[in-house]
Amino acid sequence: METILKIDKIEKYYGNKSSLTKALNNISFEVNVGEFVAIMGSSGSGKTTLLNVISTIDRVTSGHIYVADNDITKLKGNSLNKFRREELGFVFQDFNLLDTLTAYENIALALSIQNINPKIIDKKIKEVAASLNIKDVLNKYPYQMSGGQKQRVASARAIITDPKLVLADEPTGALDSKSSKMLLERFNYLNQELKTTILMVTHDAFTASYASRVIFIKDGKIFNEIHKGNDTRKEFFDKIIDVVTLLGGDLNDAL
Amino acid sequence: MMLCKLSLKNIKKSFKDYAIYFFTLILGVAIFYVFNSLDSQTIMMNVSSSTQEIIKLMTNMLSAVSVFVAFILGFLIIYASRFLIKRRNKEFGIYLTLGMSKRKISMILFFETILIGIISLIVGLGIGTILSQFMSIIVANMFEADLTKFTFIFSYDSCIKTIIYFSIMYLFVMIFNTIVINKCKLIDLLHSSKKSEKIKFKNPIFCTIVFILSVGMLSYAYYMVTAGVDNLKTMNEIFIPIVLGVVSTFFIFWSLSGLIIKIVTHMKKTYYRGLNSFVIRQVSSKINTTVFSMTFICLMLFITICVLSSALSIKNSMTANLVTLSPIDIEVQKKLDLNIDVVNNTWNLTPDMIEDSKLLVRESLNKLDFNVDNYFKDMVEFNTYSTNEVLVKDTLGDYYEKAKTKYPFLRYENAEEFIKLSDYNKAAHLLGLQEFSLKDNEYIIVADYDSWIPIRNQGLKNNTPITLLGKTYYPKYDECQNSFIHISSNHVNIGIFIVPDNALNESIRNENIILANYKETTEEGKEKIENIFYEMDNHPYIKYTNLNISTKLSIYENSVGLGAMVTFIGLYLGIIFLISSAALLALKELSESSDNKQRFKMLRNLGTDEKMINRALFKQIAIFFIFPLILAIIHSIFGIIFCNFMLETFGNEKLLESIIMTAIFLVIIYGGYFIITYLCSKNIIKEK
C-alpha cells in the first residue's frame, strides 16, 4: 500500500523552561491511501495538537511530517497555503462555514481560491452534492440549515478539491446522534466509494467505530492502536470500548 | 485604584482598535485650537485698522461656528464610544459574571474616558500649536501683511476654550456610557458576538422599482435646483429638493445593495473568481444594516464638497472683481433732501439731520474740515434722482403681474433711480465704462446684477414707457446695458435709468455723489488721506450728516477680509465634516473587521493566500468608502451649480481651481482615513 501520510518522531512543546508541557511526545505513525483513521483521546491528550500540526495550522518542535513524500514541516508562507488548499480538506467541529455565503458558495470558495473555471466548479459541486445528499440545501444560508446539513456541506467543501487527505476535527461534536450517524455513513461512503483518505480526531467511541483503524493517544504518546479488519462495526465498537476502559478514568467522558 | 489600573491596561491593550478614535480626537482638538487661535495670530501682523475690524468680525464668526462644530464633534465622539463599548460587550459581560457591579464598570469607562481625554487634549493642543504656526503664514498671505519676523504664537484663550469645550463633550460621553452600561443585560453582553445577523433577501423586482423611483426623484430634485431653479419662489421651497434628495439617497443605497448583489451573483465568471463571492456577500450583508450611515456619510460628504468649493471660489472671485469694479480711489455719496414721510422715520431723523441733508457732499466735507479740491483730482460731481411717480413695478409694464408671482420677494414699490445723461457720461469716462447718447424721448437702463437683468429686460422688450415729470420716455435698447456708477467689490447694480438732461430737475434729488482719484500717488500718501477719513469718526458734526465714503482701499481690504472669512469658515466646517464622516466610516469598518476576524481565519484554514485575503479586505473597505463618495460627488455637481446660482453676485471665477483644491483636501483626509482603516483592519485580522 502506498503511504500518504508519514509522521516521524514529532514533538510539540508548549511553555518555557520552567514549565514545559509536552503536548506531543515522540509520536510516529503512517496512514495509507484510502484509509479511514480515527485518533482517540481525552481532552488534553494532544489529539487536537496532532491534527493542527498535520494541517500546518501549528508547527512542530521537532520531527517531520511527510504528505506524499513532501516534508510539510519545511514549508513556509505561500507554499504552505498552496499545500493547504490543494492537498488537504478540512472538516471542523463547529462547521466553519461562512455565514454570509450560501451552501453552494461556501463549497465553491474552496475551488475559486484555486482560480478554477466557474463552469467546472458548478459541475463538481453538483457531483459532490449528490454524493453527500445536500442538493436541496445548496441555496440555503448556514442559519437556515440543521447541524447535520451544515456538517455535510462542510464535508463537501473539504473533498471537492480532491485532496490527498481529509482532516476532520470532532466532526460529530456538535451534532445529535441521528445526524452523527448520517454524517459518518457519508464518510464511509466517501472512503469506500470515492477512495478518500480520512484522518479523524474524536473522543467519541461511536464515531471512532466507523473508522478502519483507531489510534489512541494519552499524554502526548501513542497508547494503543487497533484495526477493524473483518469485524462488524458493532464488534469494533466493543473493542474500542475495551481499550477506553483500559485507558481508565481519563476517557470516561467519552462514554 | 484597581479600576484605574484596569482601564489603563485596557487602553494599552486595545490601542490598535482605539487608534482611529485617538487620531480623530487629536485632529478634532488640533483643528478646534487652530481656528480659534486665529485672532492671536493676526495681532502680530502689521495691518491697517479696517483690516483689523474685519479680522475681529472673522474671529467672532469663527467662534460662533465653533459652537456648531462642537456639536458635530460631540455627536461623533458619542457615536464612536458607542462602537467601542459594543466591541467590548464580552469583556463587560465577564466583569459582571465575576460579580463586579455596573457602577464599577461605569467607573472603568469613566477613567478610560478621562485618560483618553487628557491624552488627546495634550497631543491635540501640541499639534494644533504647530499647525497654527503654518496657519499664521497663510493668514498673513491672505491679508497681504508682511510677516517679516517669525514669532512663536501660543494662544492661551484658544487653549482654555478648547479644553472647556472638549471637557464638556467628554462629560457627555461619560454620562452616555453610564446610561448604556446601566441599561444592558448580562445575557446580551455575553452572547452579543454570536448573534449573526440574518440576511434578508430583497425582492429584486421591488428593488428595481424602488431604484428607478428614487433615481427619478433624485433627477427631479437635480432639475429643481439647476435648470428649473427659476421656479423656486420662496426660501421654503428650497426644502423640497433637499428632502427629495435625502430620501432618494437613502432609497438608492437601499435598493442598490439588493440589485448589485443580484447582478453580480449572476455574473458567474466574476463571482466565482478568487474571493469575489466572499467580498460581495460581506458587503451586501453589511449594506443592509449600514444604509442609514451610508446615507448620512454621503450627505456629509456632499455638504463638505459644496462648502469647500464654494468658499474657495467666492474668495477667488472677490479678489478678481476688484480691478474692474473699483477703478478709482474714492466715492463719497450723500442722501439729499431727507424727509420724515419718505422713510417713515425708520432712520430716527432729527431736525438737524434733515437740515443737513440739504447740503452737498462737498459742503458737508468742508464742515468736517476737509476741502475736496485740496485732495482730489479727476473729480466728477453729480446727483441722482428718484420720484414716487416711477416705481419698480411701473417700469416692468405688462410683465409686472407675471414677475410678481415668479419673484414675490422683490420690492416692486421702491422708487427707481435716475441720472442725467451728461452726468453719467462724465462718470463713465472716469470709470472707464461705455458712454451713451440719447434722443429726447429715450431712456437706457444700466445694470450688472445678473438676477435683475432678465427681469428688467422683459420690461424693455415690451417697450414699456415711463412717465417722468409729465413727459413720457421709451427704452432705447431692448435690454439692460452692462455698467455701474458706484464703486464696489461685486456686481451689485440692480438698475439705474439714464435719461436726457432736461428730463430731471432739482426737486426730485436723491443722492449727491463725488467720484475721484487722490492727488497723492504714493501708497503712503493715499493711506494718509484714508486716515483723515477714519479720524472724521470723532468729529462732532459726523452725527448729523449721512455721508457714505467708500474707498478703493477699504473695498479691497473688506473684500479680502470677507474672502478670508469665507475661506476660513469654509475650511473649518469642511474639514470637520470630512473628518467626522471619514471617522464614522472608519470606526464602523474597524468594528466589523474584528467581527470578521473569525471569517478570515476560516479562509486561512482553507489555504487562502495572504495576498488574496488582503486584497479581499481592501476591496471590501474600498467599496464602503467609495460608494457614498460617488453619490456625494454626483450630488455635488448639481449642488455646486446651485451654489453658483445663489452666489451669483460674487461671480464664479476660478471655480475649477477651487474644485481641484477641494479634491486635494478630499483625497488627503478621506483617502488618509481609508488607508489607516485598511492598515488597522489588516492588523486586526492578522493571525498571531
d(CA A86, CA A113) in angstroms, rounded, equals 10
Q: Do A101 and B273 touch (CB under 8 A)?
A: no
Residue B279 CB-half CA count within 13 A: 24
Q: What is the pLDDT of residues B464-473, one digit of tens each?
A: 888 888 889 9
Q: Do A100 and B199 touch (CB under 8 A)?
A: yes
Query: Does the beta carbon of A86 lie under 8 angstroms from any beta carbon of chain B?
Result: yes
Q: What is the pLDDT of residues B334-350, one digit of tens each?
A: 888 877 665 555 666 77
Query: Does the beta carbon of A115 lie under 8 angstroms from any beta carbon of chain B?
Result: yes
State how many domains chain A has: 1
Structural domain contains residue B100: yes
> What stretches of B88-185 show up as alpha helix (H) in DSSP?
89-97, 102-142, 156-183
Q: What is the pLDDT of residues A191-249, one digit of tens each?
A: 888 888 999 998 888 999 999 999 998 888 888 899 988 888 899 999 998 888 887 65
User: Which residue in chain B is spatially nearest to A85 when comparing CA positions?
Assistant: B607
Q: What is the pLDDT of residue B108?
A: 83
Mean pLDDT of the B200-212 span: 81
User: Which residue in chain B is spatially nearest to A84 when comparing CA positions?
Assistant: B607
CB contacts, 8 Å: A79 with chain B: none
Structural domain contains residue B104: yes
Sign of CA dihedral B619, B623, B625, B630: positive
d(CA B575, CA B579) in angstroms, rounded, equals 6
Q: What is the pLDDT of residue B652?
A: 58
Strand partners, B419: B384, B498
Q: Do A86 and B607 touch (CB under 8 A)?
A: yes
Give Cα separations from B630 to A206, B302, B305, B333, B623 (angstroms).
Answer: 58, 10, 12, 51, 10
Distance between B12 CA and the closest CA of chain A, angstroms: 24
Q: Do B272 and A112 touch (CB under 8 A)?
A: yes
Q: What is the pLDDT of residue B534?
A: 80
Q: Residue A110 maps to which CATH number? A: 3.40.50.300
Q: Quick one: which H or E segment has residue A123? A: helix A118-132
CB contacts, 8 Å: A124 with chain B: none
d(CA A210, CA A234) in angstroms, rounded, equals 9
CB contacts, 8 Å: B273 with chain A: 112, 115, 118
Is it the case that residue B187 has pLDDT exceeding 70?
yes
**Which is nearest to A147 in space by CA: A96, A207, A210, A204?**
A96
User: Which residue in chain B is spatially nearest to A83 when comparing CA positions?
Assistant: B607
Mean pLDDT of the B81-89 span: 77
pLDDT averaged over consecutive 10-residue blocks of chain A (255 residues)?
A: 87 82 88 91 83 86 88 84 85 84 89 86 89 87 87 88 87 84 87 88 89 90 88 90 76 47
Of the three residues B499, B527, B545, the one that is the final residue of a domain is B545
Residue B653 CB-half CA count within 13 A: 13
Of the three residues B523, B545, B567, the one that is the final residue of a domain is B545
B79-83, B287-291, B634-638: least confidently modelled range: B287-291
User: What is the overall mean pLDDT for chain B?
Assistant: 82
Backbone angles phi, psi at A66, to 5 degrees: -110, 125
Q: What is the pLDDT of residue A255?
A: 43
Structural domain contains residue B23: yes
Structural domain contains residue B649: no
Distance between B155 CA and the closest CA of chain A, angstroms: 53
Strand partners, A33: none
Q: Do A112 and B599 touch (CB under 8 A)?
A: no
Q: Do B281 and A100 touch (CB under 8 A)?
A: yes
Structural domain contains residue B616: no
Beta strands B548-551; B330-335: pairing state: antiparallel
Distance between A76 CA and the closest CA of chain B, angstroms: 12
Interface of B with A (CB under 8 A): 196, 198-199, 268-269, 271-278, 281-282, 284-285, 599, 602-612
Q: Quick one: which H or E segment has residue A4? A: strand A3-15
Mutate to test the interface with A, among B267, B592, B606 (most CBs of A within 10 A): B606
Domain that holds residue B68: 1-195
Is it the case that residue B149 has pLDDT exceeding 70?
no
Backbone angles phi, psi at B155, to 5 degrees: -100, 110
CB contacts, 8 Å: A118 with chain B: 268-269, 271-273
Mean pLDDT of the B23-47 span: 80
User: Which residue in chain A is spatially nearest to B273 when comparing CA positions?
Assistant: A112
Q: What is the pLDDT of residues B353-387, one digit of tens each?
A: 888 888 888 888 888 888 888 888 888 999 999 88
Is it the case that residue B267 has pLDDT exceeding 60?
yes
Is it the case that residue B103 has pLDDT exceeding 90?
no
Structure pTM? 0.77
Mean pLDDT of the B641-663 span: 74
User: Residue B59, class by beta-carbon neighbours within 10 Å (0-12 exposed, 13-18 middle, 19+ buried)?
Assistant: buried
Structural domain contains residue B12: yes
State how many domains chain B has: 2
Task: Please report the ipTM that was assigned to this predicted complex.
Answer: 0.82
Query: Does the beta carbon of A230 lie under 8 angstroms from any beta carbon of chain B?
Result: no
Of the three residues B545, B568, B591, the one that is the final residue of a domain is B545
Q: What is the pLDDT of residue B199?
A: 57
User: Which SS3 state, helix, strand or coil, does residue B478 take?
Assistant: coil
Structural domain contains residue B217: no
Domain that holds residue A58: 3-254
Structural domain contains residue B3: yes
